[in-house]
Amino acid sequence: MDFLLLLVLLGVVFLLLLLLAKRNYSYWERNGVTQLNPELFYGDLRDMLSGHVPMGSAFANFYNIFKQKNLPFGGVYWAFTPMFIPVDVQLIKAMLVKDFAYFQDRGSYHHENDILSQNLFRLPGEQWRNLRQKLSPTFTSSRMRMMFETMQEKIQQLDPILDRCIQKGEINVTDVSACLTTDVIASCAFGIECNSLQDPDCQLRQQAKRISIPMPLKQWVENTVPRKLLGYTGFKAFPGQEAFFRKLVLDTMAYREKNVIYRKDFMHLLLQLRNKGELTDDGNFSKNQSQKGILTDDEIIAQCFIFFTAGFDTSSSTMAFAMHELALQPDLQDRVRDEVLQVFNKYDGNITYLGTQELVLTGRVIAETLRKYPVLANIPRICTKDYKIPNSNVVLKKGTQIQLPVWGLHMDPEYFPDPHKFDPDRFSEEAKATRPEFAYFPFGEGPRICIGARFAQIEAKLGLAALLRKGKFSVLPGKNTTLKFKPSMVLLHATEEIRLKVEKR
Ligand code: HEM
């Protein structure tokens, strides 16, 4: 009898849960937003959550479905969580710029007990605004110019590596780019000589490999479980990283202070902000009675960490994807190389900061690479107060999660005809003028745009120039020429390392 009662009770609970789930899966319909056909547990993301497609492809696919139905937006479910997908470029512009106040946060996990989570990418609202105000001056073009030398020193170390690859006849561009960008960002953010180009086993490179950019499932947990509750459980956004980066940053700062070392990098600027509260374009970072610092040690640790994390993987994939495309188009490769040589010759065999601005075609190759392969293929946002969508009766409730489908837009034939074709001329001034704004935003847009975009573009130009100047790259016989991407990853990662044939020019 007791057993029977238990069975009935379990049945009732199961039925109630099923009814709740069914009601949950009608959230968008009830709010006047077109939705797809969600399945229990998976919502609309079975393929992504079961590890079959990359997150970017899943959201590009949603974009295509809503676009084909001529809808300005649509709603999907990430497991049980409703997620809003804007399609119309005017709406995207409103969300990123005009009505930014409603969408300024990404909804990422951050907690006061988790130092590394207190970084610029993750912080919300006022905390983000204050920090961005303090950090933005460290990324201006004059500061990039100051850091250029430091960046260039690292890029020059590519030369002997490339020579060795030429001797072998083969280059693993995935690996070489990853080592290069690790060395550049380690040098510019932490001021340390990492040399993973020479020694791929160096400590920072190994540590970098262990940094887990949140998988979709982890991202969902972070965005869904109440922040305070997660923080209470001791959850860490970047498990196993804090002790290493804390020591690295504190030791570097102490060493510089003790030995009064001036190095042209972010660390120097952050030290100035910590000690003097202002940037002064000189070697001075010592404390003064009348001055007050505006960054704490913990803030510096978290920002150095995010510059490193956001900086090496994104830039290295972009360089590797660009080299893959250039290997497939020898004529284009020759045109880019001609431009590179012209600039090298003009500046006595050395690309200067001004010289990078003359690498126009190289810049377009990078722009086209980021169109075809935007490493952050969709950008998350969260609605921070109820928002009535212009020209509709739909109100997005506070707390609604949003994914801006960057890859979907970048591959939309309306904006980029023949979207699978790699064509840098899409970024000539005339071609750009024919497209609506916000059909292309690999670095995001508006006040929350990538703070490192300028840095990344200069680095990629210098990296490509160093490779193309000496080497001629082509596809290895028998290699697949279409890139495939790892499923279950937030960032675009090719499933196979990109290896190319390389000969001396
Ligand atoms: C090709 C390279 C890169 C790509 C494609 C890229 C892309 C992005 C994107 C799409 C965002 C989100 C923007 C938004 O929400 O509107 C972002 C944010 C950010 N990126 Fe990058 N990024 C790159 C390189 C870098 C580098 C080199 C650094 C640091 C030196 C960096 C640091 C950051 C930071 C700190 C944020 C958060 C900004 C904020 O919330 O205020 N990124 N990036």
DSSP track, 54-75: -HHHHHHHHHHHHHHTT-SEEE
Mean per-residue pLDDT over the chain, rounded: 92
Q: Is 464 in the pocket of ligand 1 (CB under 6 A)?
A: no
Residue 376 alpha carbon, nearest atom of ligand 1: 10
Residue 385 corresponds to which tokens in the numbers above? 């107060």
- pLDDT tens digits, 247-267: 999 999 999 999 999 988 999
Q: Is 315 in the pocket of ligand 1 (CB under 6 A)?
A: yes
pLDDT surpasses 80 at 216: no
- pLDDT tens digits, 4-42: 888 888 888 888 888 887 889 999 999 999 999 999 989
Q: Is 457 in the pocket of ligand 1 (CB under 6 A)?
A: no
Residue 139 alpha carbon, nearest atom of ligand 1: 30
Ligand 1, atom 32, lies closest to the CA of 452
Top-confidence residue, 337 or 230: 337
Report pLDDT for 287: 80
How many angstroms does the Cα of residue 213 sit away from the middle of ligand 1? 13
Q: Of 80-84, 290-294, 308-312, where does mean pLDDT reach its minimum?
A: 290-294
pLDDT surpasses 70 at 109: yes
- pLDDT tens digits, 404-425: 999 999 999 999 999 999 999 9
- Cα 388–chain centre separation: 29
pLDDT surpasses 60 at 148: yes
Q: Is 304 in the pocket of ligand 1 (CB under 6 A)?
A: no
Arch. (CATH architecture) of 32-504: Orthogonal Bundle (1.10)
Where along the chain do its domains lie?
Answer: 1-30, 32-504
Closest CA to 343 of 331, 353, 334, 329: 353
pLDDT surpasses 70 at 212: no
Under DSSP, the state recorded for 116 is G
Ligand 1, atom 6, lies closest to the CA of 443
Under DSSP, the state recorded for 504 is E
Report pLDDT for 226: 84
- From CA 449, how far away is CA 104, in angstroms rounded? 11
Residue 460 alpha carbon, nearest atom of ligand 1: 1
Q: Is 444 in the pocket of ligand 1 (CB under 6 A)?
A: yes
Ligand 1, atom 14, lies closest to the CA of 444
What ipTM describes this predicted complex? 0.99
- From CA 420, how far away is CA 194, in angstroms rounded? 37
Report pLDDT for 201: 80
Ligand 1, atom 18, lies closest to the CA of 450
DSSP track, 384-440: -S-EEPTTSS-EEPTT-EEEE-HHHHHT-TTTSSSTTS--GGGGSHHHHHTSPTTS-
pLDDT surpasses 90 at 234: no
Report pLDDT for 1: 61
- pLDDT tens digits, 38-77: 999 899 999 988 888 999 999 999 999 999 999 999 999 9
Express as a percent the part of the chain with pLDDT over 90.
72
Strand spans (E) along 265-397: 379-382, 387-388, 395-396
- pLDDT tens digits, 153-180: 999 899 999 999 999 999 999 999 999 9
323 and 466 Cβ atoms separated by less than 8 Å: no
- From CA 373, how far away is CA 377, in angstroms rounded? 8
Q: Is 304 annotated as a binding residue?
A: no
Amino acid, single-letter form, for residue 198: Q
- From CA 340, how far away is CA 421, in angstroms rounded? 23
Residue 299 corresponds to which tokens in the numbers above? 């803030």
Residue 251 corresponds to which tokens in the numbers above? 């030791």
pLDDT surpasses 60 at 214: no
- From CA 382, how far away is CA 453, in angstroms rounded? 22
